[in-house]
Structure 1
Amino acid sequence: MKATDTTIPIVGIDKKIPFKEKLLFSLTPGLGTFYLAMISTWLLFYYTDILKINDAFVGVMFVVVRVADAIITPIFGVYLDRQNTRWGKYKPWMLIIWAGMAVGGFLTFCPVNFGQLGNTIYATVTYIIYSIFISMNQAPTMGMTASMTKRQDDRMTISTQNFIWTVVFTLLVSAASLPLINLLGNGNQGDGFRNFMLIFMIIGIFLILVIVKVIKERFVFSSNENQKLNVKAIWDSLIKNKYAMIAVLINFSINIFNGVRSAIGIYYYKYFFNDTNMMVIVGTLSLVPMLIGVFFSSVITKKIGVKNNILLMVIITIVSSVAMFFIPATASGKITFYALYVLGGLF
């Protein structure tokens, strides 16, 4: 491995990297969480209730694009690992992808009036572009962590700050986005979504410009640079590794489940409980059990083992999720729903 710029002081092995660099870089997963949460929380509602697109078409589009994302992500990761540029290995891609994600997010939530067919075509094109950028963002971010520092304590600090920013942006979408959208739209939710995403497009592009300027690539593998991407070899190595296949399938299933549950949540609150304010309450409640679960996860894993912990998590998550279908639309039903949501979130 080599330093990409000989003028950069070699820190990260025996010397900590600057705190400012770690703090700014740790913002990137939070920003990614914001854009992903906007899709999972609001996009189905936005398409069907504001753009008036057929809900069956939207459901099929979501599934097809999710499957495409699952294929694109590992292929792009391998491609990126074999490339380098005069401006760096990861930083140029971070700039391109995050800027594309910010612009794509704005265009996706920008209401248009092209008629039924025109709105459907517009939504399809913008969502595909938006989703591709989101699926690609993890690869350069993860690679950048390894190229910035080799110190374990630096990486732990970045990881901790990542988690904090992820919680902050998750709370922003789940608890604060609806009031802000209503405020910015002055009663028109379509305008509210557009103005909300316009503000974050500007903020996101500004932040990524600052982040790319501050962070440094110090340690980059160079032995496999600029090699031809062999998609067949990647696929063959994946399907022959049963543990990798299990991990991919579990990850894909969890993402589909969480995406569907988040997307239909607004309808459940609006048409079953007749209370859209539940969206804010549930968003706030979801963070507390998540933080508790993260805190105790290592303790529980040491007690019962990784496999048993995963099995327990899956069983309780399924039971609590299914039980929600049998809750009555009453005041006591709301309390029961909150309790089940907290229980599921904890595990």
Structure 2
Amino acid sequence: MKFIGGIHVSSINLTTDHKRYYVKIKSGEKVAYGFWGFGSDLVFQTITIYLTFFYTDIFGISPAQVTALFLVARIWDAINDPLMGAICEKLHFKMGKYRSWMFYLAIPYGISTILLFTTPNSPAVKVVFAWVTYIAFGMLFTGMIIPATSLSSSMTQDPVERTSLNSFRMFCSQLGGVGCSILVPYLSTHLGSTPKQGYQFAMAILAIIMAISFMVAAKVCQERVPETNSEEPFRFRDVFEQFTKNKPLLFVFVLYLAAYTFNIMVSSVGTYFVTYNMKRGDLLGTWSLTQTLPSIFPLLFVPAMVRRIGKKKVALLGAAISLIGMLMFFFSPDTAFTWLFIGKGIGSFGYGIELGILWSILPDTVEYGEYITGRRCAGVVYSLASLSIKISLTIAGIVPTIVLDAVNYVPNGVQTESCLTAIRFLNSLIPAIFLLIGIIVFSRYSLTEKRFEEIVVELTKRRNEAADKGVTVKLTSQTNASVDK
């Protein structure tokens, strides 16, 4: 007699058994999963919003040096991220395939974020210190984010529940962004005797919260969905196969690039716009809130929107709304504060829709990849998503520094008219172009909800056939289920 995960193979009904892992996540587990999203973005949003400005105006290195740092770091990430995805698939621990990384890397990752906002006393070592700490941060970020985001594909196979789970996580993430917008301006000015100390102490507090959030999620969340039926060891060429054969993943990859480049760019250069174009540094906290707060509310409605019009249309709708907001921003004068805030708020609202659906679409490409290649490689799929975010960080970091250097930007000085115009473009039209590219490419995405369910049925059929032949079926949960004879 054979069993799979405690279920008699002889009792399996293919018409219903494909939903065996359509698990409804309990509220406590969902809250824990959302908690790591809150802690992660509490830190990550701080880095995307403030790091470039911190490097040029507080740490004290030039825009050209920042550009070189971001570029070299991303070249390394092109190797490091897929490699981490492969390692994540290859290694298994007592806590599971993904959760162990989240638990044990939480503290080292937190330390790396504090070092990012630490300024050495010796000017001679500043550049080297920035390079070492930024690249170390990037590697630890990869080691954390790939397992953490891959976890949702293993918690449940239900596409609706995945949408709900990831929408809630992104809701919590944006709350973390709001927390960052409120806490960082306050803490950086009230802690320490200088801005350098203020930023360092502020990040230390946020990093502690972040580390706790990852460790709690690792302990509470569970891995359930089985891996591929194949008994062959993981192959590093699986990375190449996923990237070349998994076409829905490629379209999602481009949409990730567009959405994250848009958000990171408008976040990182917003500080320049408020400081130099609006000449209202006192509004920086409010400006940061406008970048994050409007994106929270649509996350509550994304699951309902998906049930009504489907994931693809929701994704395109969110990008289109953000595009409208950026165009409104672009045509508003520097003195039209109300319209600038409205345009920025609309852009943020659309991005909230985009956030809620991006991480809900990605798990579906894991099943598609398994269907095409015969191998379930969630870690590889999510490593490519991580890589897309890293590339977005590069584009959103390099483009502004190149532009600012070209228009002779003067840190803490009076800016020329051409420089102010460039800052306006960086806050509106340039990120809008990336969104438009994402809309055009993602319009070709064809993995509908109906097609996804057909694929899950086929994968279930393959697992059942493997069970009949006596092939071991690995599970990503703590207790591996095997076929007993």
TM-score between the two structures when normalised by the length of structure 1: 0.80
Distance across 2 between alignment mates of 1:312 and 1:153? 19
2:333 matched to which residue of 1? 328
Q: Which SS does the other structure have where 2:281 is aligned?
A: coil
Letter in 2 for 1:133: L
The reply to whether residue 338 of structure 1 matches residue 338 of structure 2 is no
Report deviation, 1:102.
Answer: 0.7
Aligned counterpart in structure 2 of residue 205 of structure 1, from 203, 208, 211: 211
Q: Compute the RMSD of aligned alpha carbons.
A: 3.6
After superposition, the C-alpha distances for 1:233-279 in whole angstroms (9 at most, x for unaligned) are 42244234444323212312332232222111111111111112322
* Separation in structure 1 between the aligned mates of residue 164 and residue 304 of structure 2, nearest angstrom: 20
Q: Name the aligned partner's letter for residue 198 of structure 2.
A: G
Distance 1:217 1:278, change over 3 A: same
- 1:238-257 matched pairs, under 5 angstroms: 238-257=243-262
Q: What is the rounded CA distance, in whole Å, between the counterparts of 1:309 and 1:155 in structure 2?
A: 15
CA distance in 2, matches of 1:111, 1:33: 23
Larger radius of gyration: 2
User: Which residue of structure 1 aligns with residue 133 of structure 2?
Assistant: 126
Q: How big is the shift at 1:127?
A: 0.8
Of 144, 147, 153, 1:140 maps to 147
Task: Tell me which of 18, 42, 45 is aligned to 2:50.
Answer: 42
**Residues 168 and 299, structure 2, Cα contact 8 Å, conserved in 1:** no
- Match for 1:212: what amino acid? A
Whether the 8 Å contact between 2:89 and 2:234 is mirrored in structure 1 is: no
Question: Are 1:283 and 2:291 an aligned pair?
Answer: no
Q: 1:223 to 1:83 in 2, by over 3 A?
A: farther
Letter in 1 for 2:243: L
Q: Pick from 61, 81, 87: which aligns with 2:89?
A: 81
Which residue does the alignment assign to 1:92? Answer: 100
How many Å separate the matches in 2 of 1:106 and 1:128? 13
The one-letter amino acid paired with 1:23 is V
- The offset of 1:29, in angstroms, is 1.6
Quote the residue 2:109 is aligned against.
101
Contact 2:171 2:296 in 1 (8 A): no
Superposed displacement of residue 112, structure 1: 1.3
Residues 84 and 225 of structure 1 are in contact (CA less than 8 Å); yes or no, is this contact kept in structure 2?
no
Write the letter of the residue equivalent to 2:119: P
Q: Paired residue for 2:196?
A: 190
Change (3 A) 1:304 1:208: closer
Q: Is this contact kept in 1: 2:306–2:314, CA < 8 A?
A: yes
Distance 2:320 2:170 in 1: 25
How far does the alpha carbon of each residue in 1:188-240 deviate from its partner, in whole angstroms, 9 at most, with x for none? 21111111122233333344444434445556537568924324x42244234
- Match of 1:258? 263
Q: What one-letter code is carried by the residue in structure 1 that aligns with 2:206?
A: F
Of residues 66, 69, 72, the one that matches 1:61 is 69
Q: Provide the rounded CA distance (Å) in 1 between the counterparts of 2:310 and 2:217.
A: 39
Take 1:167 and 1:339, find their aligned partners in 2: how far apart are those partners?
Answer: 19
The whole-number CA distance in structure 2 between the counterparts of 1:64 and 1:46 is 19
| Counterparts in 2 of 1:255 and 1:29: CA distance versus 1, 3 Å | same
The alignment partner of 1:255 has SS state of helix
Q: Which amino acid aligns with 2:54?
A: Y
| Aligned residue in 2 for 1:177 | 184
Check 1:243–1:228 CA distance in 2 against 1; reply closer, same or farther (3 A cut).
closer
In structure 2, stretches of 5+ residues that fail to align are 7-19, 351-485
Q: Aligned AA for 2:286?
A: I
- Which letter does structure 2 place at the counterpart of 1:336? W
In 1: Cα distance, 2:313 partner to 2:209 partner: 43
SS in 2 for 1:185: coil
Moved more, 219-228 or 275-284: 219-228
Against the structure 1 CA distance between its residues 225 and 177, is the aligned structure 2 distance closer, same or farther, given a 3 Å change threshold? farther
Asked if the contact 1:82/1:224 (under 8 Å) is kept, the reply is no
TM normalised by structure 2 equals 0.59
Name which of structure 1's ranges 160-169 and 124-133 shifts more when overlaid on structure 2: 160-169
Q: Offset of 1:148 from its aligned partner?
A: 4.8
Q: Which deviations, in whole Å up to 9, do the C-alpha atoms of 1:14-60 show, x marking residues without a partner?
A: 99776544423321122221222111100001111111011122134
| Cα distance change of structure 1 residues 159 and 321 upon mapping to structure 2, 3 Å threshold | closer
8 A Cα contact 2:168 2:300, kept in partner: no
Residue 135 of structure 1 deviates from its aligned partner by 3.0
Q: Deviations over 1:108-161 (max 9, x none)?
A: 11121221x411111111111112222332332234345456788976764454
Alpha-carbon shift at residue 180 of structure 1 (Å) = 1.8
1:33 aligns with 2:41: yes
Q: 1:219 to 1:239 in 2, by over 3 A?
A: closer
Report the identity percentage.
Answer: 23
* Partners of 1:90 and 1:140 within 8 A in 2: yes
Query: Which amino acid is 2:326 matched to?
Result: S
Deviation of the 1:178 alpha carbon: 0.5
Q: Amino acid of the residue matched to residue 134 of structure 1?
A: F
Aligned counterparts of 2:100 and 2:144: Cα–Cα separation in 1: 12
CA distance in structure 2 between the partners assigned to 1:155 and 1:41 by the alignment: 29
Give ranges in structure 1 of 5+ residues lacking alignment: 4-11
Q: 2:311 & 2:96 partners in 1: Cα distance?
A: 38
Against the structure 1 CA distance between its residues 322 and 97, is the aligned structure 2 distance closer, same or farther, given a 3 Å change threshold? farther
